[in-house]
A and B are shown apart, each in its own frame.
Chain A
Amino acid sequence: MSTPGILAGIRVLTLEQVHSLPWGTSFLADLGAQVIRIESVDHLQDREAGPFPNNQRGEEWWNEGGNLAYYGTRNKQSLCLEVTTPKGKEVFLRLAKNSDVVTDNFRPGTMQRLGFDHASLAKINPRIITLSSTAYGHTGPWRRAGSRARTVDAACGMSFLTGYEGGPSQRASNNYMDHSTGNNVAYALLLAIYHRNRTGQGVRIDLAMQETGISCIGPAVLEAQRGITRPRVGCGHLWKSPHNVYPCRGTDRWIAISVWEDAQWTALQDVMNDPAWAADSRFQTTLGRWQHRRELDNLLGTWTATQDDRQLMRTLQERGICAGAILTAQDLVADPHMQGRHYMQEFENQAAPHIGTRVYAGRPFRMPGVNLTIRHVATLGQHNHEVLRDVAGLSNEEIEELAREGIISSTPKLGETAAESE
């Protein structure tokens, strides 16, 4: 039986788009906060992003995408409210007056233009916590720069360090920065709530993706100040060998092996039935293996190519050798460890019944007694009435008028098509 949500009673208004901020606030929603995602019919890119069953958009595509369920409106409420209209602004301010947290990921200046910046909100709600999540922060010469997670992967130093051994720089990921930033958003908001519980004071948080990214490469930041250049090593290592990925039997099957002590190397030789090449004196010390790592990788890879990746992983691990098969998403869904951990969540989105049951990654931590699964996924504008009535204190008549005037909606505009997609 679950305990009531840890954050029950905390209300978050979030003007969020794309990835990092919705990812961050989804943790708060999982923990029981009332997270009200404010959407606009003019900006439905996230609902257009899918993924959709077999890449086909259904009739109610705006409620059917997998990203929505995984983080977009996961355990949140949806209020589709045009906050840039005069009436929309007024409603937003009434909501903010009765909320604990307001978050946004507009470019710096937008919240101020709308009259939603921290100083304005603090006048009507002195205990308010605000968080703005941007690429480069609200101050400094780059504050107005737009971004993608990939461009910030570059700007923070991560991409420069990433690449195959001896090769050019390469982005680490299309969205690692989004997730790191989203995690940092969740951490910062929980810190702010903790702080307010103790002191009664709200805070203004200016959170930057670039800076979160730099905090991920802390050692390289120190090295740069003393003239130390960190080489690109692919899956290699600065002193361990073998430490790389090696081909296995089948198409595009691989195993990662990491050896850090002589006993592991001896065991590996034994598993290979002591081939003559492995007895080479150059490979009998950690330093020797590392110095001759390319030759060692090639020889070892010739042997692993005859092996089944997962069988080899089990064999090596039984012998105390650190190894892991390189798994695909399909492998992971069927993986015995994942099943043993009950990690994946099979979820049927009641709001989009025809897409059926789909599998989602679980949360990467567990807290006994706390349910961190997807419980519901908000459809566009699903909570318009409830939120406007209960939080903004509007009457049914006022709400109906907003709907007539198109200030609140629950369907896209007619003829809405996919906008520029990344």
Chain B
Amino acid sequence: MSGILSNLLVVELAAAPSGAFCAKLLADQGADCIKIEPPGQGDLARREPPFIGGEPHPDRSTAFLAFNTNKRGVTLDLAQAAGRQLLVRLVKEADVVIESFPPGVMERLAIGYEALKQVNPRLVLVSITYFGEDGPYSNYLGDDLIAQALGGYLYAVTGSADRPPMGTVLQQMEITAARNGAIAVMAALLHRETTGEGKHLDVSVMEAAISTPSGLIHPYSFTGRSPRRGGGDRNVMDGMHLPTRDGEVTLTTAGTGGRPMEVWAEFLQEPRLLDPKFASRQLRLENWEELRDLIAPKLAQWNNLDLMRETMARGLVIGLVQSPDQVVNSPHLAERGYFVELQHAEVGPLKYSGPGFLIDGANAMSALRAAPRLGEHNEEVYCGELGIPLEDLGRLRGAGVI
């Protein structure tokens, strides 16, 4: 099956990871995505370490490579009128435009929704910003950390109760905002099928952070207490990471039929787990160090993959704390065909994460191309598709428009 979105043209003007990842989600399902970057430095993600091969290089940033698969890349200076004219020509043909500039930037450049709607009433414009298009913080500077802070995530979710707030890695609030954006885009496209109308979608990274934990706002409203970090502290059976011979594992009491200590005592061959002082969840929290010291040496005799196989066979539920390296080399994922190998002129072949679902048994990720090099498709897009003569392209290049 060719990609589900292969009839779509997406133009990405993303200045932040949220927009880039949102566009990637569409591109990986077959949309033709043209990523527009400022000439010279390109997307700021090109400067983010680490780099494949070690040395900084605009085509070797892992953050850039990971979030820009299946896109074509062109450069365009939107500060110049000639650049904006080219943008409008692209937008005329586009189904979706994704941007992540601070609110008001597009309007100041006269390429805001109202202006773009004039040239393409069917356009779906997605604006992903840290704080949304309006409200008192809309002009604040943001990044993923600040979105985690203002979005309640830092206080409530990841860190330990007796330590400062601590959050997630690799810009998860931006990623979540991007997924929200992709849902909104699909809804808007379905709406357009019946009405012919486009829409302007307002996606906030801060709001992604707030709505993402199940228990933030309404638990406070029901109980009067703000959820606070530290849920995994002291919780040997349901939260802590414990070392194995070749890694770490996190246990659960699930699958034990309500007799967790009996079942785990038998599995680990450690009868002292049957001591009444571990008999309830509360008692296990109170005596957590003793409990950990009984369990840890037993787990240390296991290799991760053996432990997974044997617990699975008994219906017990554990989680291997896998390193990215173990994930990449996972036999399970290999059998699933999860990773997609893409060739890239600068960094060679690499395996990329799939979308997380198989469609009719096959990995649904389009495998057309790895991330574009800066301006890689200028000629193809501007000359081949917009019909600009090659000599004009040279003039535009000379003027710094592309």
Contact = CB atoms under 8 A, between A and B. Distances in A.
Contacts of B213: 173-176, 179
Contacts of B325: 224
Contact of B241 (A170, A186, A247): A170
A214 to B, nearest CB: 5
Contacts of A140: 331-333, 335-336
Nearest to A202: B360
A207 B336 CA distance: 11
Contacts of B25: 187
Interface string B173-217: 001110111111011111101110001111110011011111111
B135 A340 contact: yes
Interface string A145-162: 111101111111111111
Given A160-B322, A162-B158, A194 B4 contact: yes
Contacts of A308: none
A388 to B, nearest CB: 28
A381 interface: no
A330 B207 CA distance: 15
Residue of B134, B168, B216, B226 with most partner-chain A CB within 10 A = B168
B62 A223 contact: yes
A1 interface: no
A251 B131 CA distance: 26
B80 interface: no
Nearest to A232: B169
Contact of B142 (A145, A159, A163, A322): A322
B42 interface: no
B179 A187 contact: yes
A179 B325 CA distance: 25
Contacts of B200: 368
Nearest to A212: B356
B221 A333 contact: yes
Contacts of B320: 154-155
B152 interface: yes
B324 to A, nearest CB: 4
A413 interface: no
Contact of A52 (B163, B211, B217, B222): B222
Interface residues on A, range: 35 or more
Contact of A333 (B156, B167, B220, B238): B220
Residue of B135, B186, B241 with most partner-chain A CB within 10 A = B186
Interface residues of B, number: 143
A66 B81 CA distance: 52
A336 B131 CA distance: 12
B400 interface: no
A326 to B, nearest CB: 5
B5 interface: yes
A157 B323 contact: yes
A278 B147 CA distance: 27
A31 B255 contact: no
Given A136-B332, A321-B141, A190 B211 contact: no
Interface in B145-171: 145-152, 154-160, 163-170
Interface in A230-270: 230, 232-235, 237-239, 243, 245, 247, 252, 254-256, 258
Residue of B63, B179, B338 with most partner-chain A CB within 10 A = B179
A63 interface: no
A7 B312 CA distance: 39
Contacts of B359: 188, 192, 203-206
B165 A358 contact: no
Interface stretch (A67-75, A76-84, A392-400, A404-412): A67-75
Contacts of B158: 162, 170-173
A204 to B, nearest CB: 5
A214 B156 contact: no
Interface in A19-58: 19, 23, 27, 31, 50-55
Interface in A133-151: 136-142, 144-148, 150-151
Closest 8 CB pairs of A and B: A151-B319, A218-B66, A190-B186, A154-B319, A329-B220, A212-B356, A340-B135, A256-B149
22 contacts: A146-B255, A146-B317, A154-B320, A155-B320, A170-B232, A174-B157, A183-B180, A206-B359, A207-B357, A211-B338, A211-B354, A222-B52, A228-B62, A255-B149, A322-B143, A327-B151, A328-B152, A329-B226, A337-B135, A360-B217, A362-B207, A364-B180
Given A6-B190, A212-B357, A245-B149, 18 more contacts: A7-B190, A148-B254, A150-B232, A155-B319, A155-B327, A188-B355, A221-B339, A223-B50, A230-B169, A324-B150, A328-B155, A328-B156, A329-B217, A330-B220, A341-B135, A364-B208, A365-B204, A367-B187
Interface of B: 4-5, 7, 25, 29, 48-50, 52-53, 62-63, 65-67, 131-132, 134-138, 140-143, 145-152, 154-160, 163-170, 172, 175-177, 179-184, 186-191, 193-195, 199-204, 207-208, 210-224, 226-228, 231-232, 238-239, 241, 248-250, 252-255, 258, 308-309, 312, 315-328, 331-333, 335-336, 338-339, 350-361
